[in-house]
Amino acid sequence: MEKKIFLSVGRTSTKEQEDFVKAVEDFLQNHGLIPQTLGRTFFSSMQPLKAVDDLMRQCYGVVIVAFERIQIEAGIEKRGSPEEHRLENTALPTVWNQIEAAMAYTLGHPLLVIIESGLRSEGLLERGYDWYVNWVNLSKAALNEREFQGVFSDWKRRVDEFYKELQEDPDGHRLSVPLPKRGPAMERTILVLAANPKNTPQLRLDQEVREISNGLERAKKRDEFSLQQKWAARPLDVRRAMLDYKPNIVHFCGHGSGEEGIAFEDANGQALLVSADALSGFFELFADKVDCVVLNACYSERQAEAIVKHIPHVIGMKKAIGDAAAIEFAVAFYDALGAGESIEFAYKLACNAIQWAGIPEHLTPVLKLKTQVS
């Protein structure tokens, strides 16, 4: 039997957006699902929220298609607060995507979120919860990509199960469906990449990593973190570790040489400088998994600026940083994350920890945010 699916889309304003929405509608129909959209396939004289609620109760799943509605060329977020920062070329979706996603979640609907690449995602339009989120380019070809096909297949399985449950209990009103309980927090994997090539000055990397590990072991949220380590890291080791562990946070400790790059090791244990462009292209491939990259190495701001084009939070060093300051920063940063604090808070605490240690290098670490990148 064909099943109705609530399709949340804003009013299209470009041919590209309209073509993509039609492609999604066709895709759903080809899989035995009937897309229903208020003001597009379903019309009502009721107030909008009531009309959405009425239509959603007739459906067995919800698909959110979020594309650009507002483009902010220059602006300020949290103006007047200590966290004030500039916005440049930031794309936002219609607020109705958030509203309808929230309504779907409270009704227990299987929820699939499709977001245009480059769009700012937050709230229910971000990963880390018990619904599906997939970033795509607005093209029909995106619906045939392997990742999307896998996500869609699993979401449709949940739609079929939800449909079956309601058929077995036809008297159950939708509002009687309990709010899905949020399970244990998803484990966040931290991957430490350490490199101290033979032909570079000796660093106390073992102490840095040991203190990070000790801090996470005693942390309030210790069960939410997994710490993985790769020593004498070569490019081959880095690639394999990223594929094997799929980390959320990547921490590099070692040497940096400004424009020349970050120093990994070659097959002979000698320094192999990896350029900012190479690092940027590499992390772009893992942008759907990595939330933060920490480059705890001298003169690594250039690499941070390149990586942050694809990763939400990147920390680099704008000049040389000593062993003691690097260790103070790393320990405090992960102590804060282990206590459940945000990356922005952890960064500020870590800079302050350098000050507490009496080291005049607290302004060396710099936090780059993807939201501030044009």
32-60: average pLDDT: 84
Per-residue pLDDT of 311-339, as tens digits, reads 999 999 999 999 999 999 999 999 999 99
Per-residue pLDDT of 153-169, as tens digits, reads 989 998 998 888 877 76
Mean pLDDT of the residues in the chain: 88
To the nearest whole percent, how much of the chain has pLDDT over 90?
55
Query: Could you say which DSSP state residue 258 is in?
Result: G
pLDDT above 80 for 80: yes
pLDDT above 50 for 17: yes
Per-residue pLDDT of 238-254, as tens digits, reads 999 999 999 999 999 99
In angstroms and rounded to an integer, the radius of gyration of the C-alpha atoms of the chain is 23
3-176 matches 188-372 in fold? yes
Place of tokens 């399985």: 157
Reported as a pLDDT band with limits 50, 70 and 90, residue 174 is very low
Q: Which of 10-14, 17-21, 219-223 has the highest mean pLDDT?
A: 17-21
pLDDT above 90 for 12: no
Indicate the residue type of 198: K
- Give the Cα-Cα-Cα angle 22, 27, 33 (nearest 5 degrees): 110
84-111: average pLDDT: 85
**Architecture of the domain made up of 188-372:** 3-Layer(aba) Sandwich (3.40)
Reported as a pLDDT band with limits 50, 70 and 90, residue 18 is very high
Query: Between 184 and 193, where is the model more confident?
Result: 193
Q: In this predicted structure, what is the pLDDT of residue 25?
A: 93
> How buried is 55 (Cβ within 10 angstroms: 0-12 exposed, 13-18 middle, 19+ buried)?
buried
The whole-angstrom separation of Cα 53 and Cα 195 is: 55
Name the strand (E) or helix (H) holding 140: none
Q: Are 60 and 159 in contact, with CB atoms under 8 Å apart?
A: yes
Q: In this predicted structure, what is the pLDDT of residue 172?
A: 54
4-23: average pLDDT: 90
The whole-angstrom separation of Cα 316 and Cα 256 is: 10
Q: In this predicted structure, what is the pLDDT of residue 175?
A: 40
Reported as a pLDDT band with limits 50, 70 and 90, residue 303 is very high
Q: In this predicted structure, what is the pLDDT of residue 177?
A: 44
The whole-angstrom separation of Cα 288 and Cα 121 is: 12
pLDDT above 50 for 183: no
What are the boundaries of each domain within the chain? 3-176, 188-372
Query: Between 264 and 123, where is the model more confident?
Result: 264
pLDDT above 70 for 176: no
pTM of the model: 0.53
CA 157 to chain centre: 25
Q: Of the CATH numbers 3.40.640.10, 1.10.3210.10, 2.40.30.40, 3.40.50.450, which one belongs to the domain with range 3-176?
A: 3.40.50.450
